[in-house]
Chains A and B, each alone.
Chain A
Amino acid sequence: MLLTALLASAPARALETDQFYAWGKPIDDSSQYLNAWVQLQFEFTLDPISAGDSRGCESVVGKVQKRLQHSIYQPIELWILSSDLVDRIPRDPEADKDYRSNYLLAKTFTLDYGRLLQPSPTLQVNDIRFGSDKLAHFFSEGWWYYKHWMKNREELSEDALQHELFQFGVNLERWIQGTKMTGVFSPADLESNYQGFIFYRQLCHGEQPLLYQREGRWHFSDSFDIGDYIQPEWDESWNPNVYSPMRWKNIRTTMAGYCPALDSDWVVRQRAHYAQQDTQTPTEKMILELVARGELPDPQDYDITSVCGQQLSE
């Protein structure tokens, strides 16, 4: 019952994922369908609001957020799982069976309950791959970050607020959503949390808010593009997770199976593409600070280049 209460009160959990599994396999870009899904959530929310309705922007955001974020599994993730439009790996039940047997967490230890949760598939937007769980983090944890920002923005400086948001995300990764549940601390999840916050903040704030009124009715901007928020850091094969020691032993073995692919044309091209776009994000900066203080193992130790380098030297 305590577990139920904790799960009900905490921001929703998202699933684990594995972008290594999708290496070399083609995935069509899904930007247009994802953008369409978001646009339609706003349309379904805003259309019933009559012209001249006196509610303010934040009230509208509160209304639309109920479509974007639920308590446990997120609407966008559930839609992606059965959509015929969004290309992904795995896509069908047979491929899903293979994925579950071979993804990074598939072979940890016998009673690992983290494996009972369904891993999320890999999508692609603007040549960047990521798990559908990142969209869950975007809309769900992003909302919780935003609520925290709204509550504290008058009292705290921008830097202090950013630190608090980051710490909130770190605590989630350490407890309910990450290390304690599945033995995984995901910097990629933290990146998508933060981008979700940026999205929610842009709805009503900034020079050109995404929500605006015209002739007394609320509208959502056509300029919204999910691709603006998605970065190479969302790809867990590029931005490595930190794993609990118990799980790392077998995950490392599974990951080492991808070492031969590291030199393949496809992977070399993808990683070069990511390196071109990669910048140091505020989240990355704060993770480095955690590592420097000894509060987090260095994610680089769990990167495939380290695993393969170690394998060569063994």
Chain B
Amino acid sequence: MLMVLLGTQALAEDSSREPAADTQTVAQDQAMEQVREELTSMERRWYGLMRIRWHDTQRLSAGLGAMWVKQPRSVDCSIGCAIKGWHFEVEPGLYGIQAGVGWGTLIGETGRTRRLMHTVHFGWNVRGVVLRTWGDSSLYPQSQTLAGIEASVSIIRLNISAGVLRSLYSGPGEEFGEDWIITTGFGWGF
């Protein structure tokens, strides 16, 4: 009789453990599906980019652009996120305007704007650029068009850029100008 009672007790204890283990497994399975949904449910978005910098050819310039990205729907960049993708930026300055298209990646925040990456913690990009100079630019001739590649790195909001551009000018006095120039810039943004 005692053995039967003990056996029944053991069976009851086993049974009471089983539902707890099942609950745990169900909860973990549910968590898996919720996290999977967060990580895999993607959408395409655009984020605004901005940069203010001192450029050795344009002098002071301010740029605005946009990056197209694919990221999980759940991602909210207001406090911080990572994005990467194709982007463009147009940067008018005192002595010229530059437009660029390229690829980049950054970690930054949009704050309440939700779409403008006004704070970039880290990032880099490489762009094909076209630069049209005017006014008192340091080039000869002062007004000309150049095209090339520019790379930049952003670290704790500061941005450093360097480019190699070829002059597209062909006209009077072209022999006095440089065929290739190296440009540099230092500023804030991306």
Chain A: residues with CB nearer than 8 A to chain B?
1, 3-4, 7, 32-33, 35-37, 39-40, 72-73, 78-79, 81-85, 93, 96, 113, 116-118
Contacts and interface: CB of A to CB of B under 8 A. Distances in A.
Q: Which 8 A-B pairs have the closest CB atoms?
A: A32-B31, A36-B35, A82-B76, A36-B31, A36-B32, A93-B78, A82-B75, A81-B80
B57 to A, nearest CB: 20
Contacts of B28: 32, 35-36
Given A4-B153, A37-B35, A81-B81, A32 B27 contact: yes
B156 to A, nearest CB: 5
Interface in B155-186: 155-157, 160
A85 B111 contact: no
B36 interface: yes
Contacts of B81: 78, 81-82
B36 A40 contact: yes
A4 B158 CA distance: 11
A84 B32 contact: no
12 contacts: A7-B155, A36-B32, A40-B36, A72-B107, A72-B122, A73-B121, A78-B80, A81-B81, A82-B74, A82-B77, A85-B38, A93-B78
Contacts, number: 72
A93 B82 contact: no
If over half of B's interface residues share one DSSP class (helix, strand or loop), that class is named, otherwise mixed; here it is mixed
A143 B184 CA distance: 36
A7 B158 CA distance: 14
Interface in B80-94: 80-82
Interface in B139-161: 153, 155-157, 160
B156 A113 contact: yes
A37 B37 CA distance: 11
B31 A83 contact: no
B11 interface: no
B34 interface: yes
A1 B155 CA distance: 10
B79 interface: yes
If over half of A's interface residues share one DSSP class (helix, strand or loop), that class is named, otherwise mixed; here it is helix
B112 interface: yes
Contact of B35 (A7, A40, A81, A116): A40
A135 to B, nearest CB: 14
B42 interface: no
A29 B156 CA distance: 32
Contacts of A82: 74-77, 79-81
Given A36-B31, A118-B79, A84 B38 contact: yes
A68 to B, nearest CB: 14
A1 B160 contact: yes
Nearest to B156: A116
B39 A33 contact: no
Contacts of A85: 31, 34-35, 38
B29 to A, nearest CB: 9
B156 A96 contact: no
B159 to A, nearest CB: 11
B164 to A, nearest CB: 16
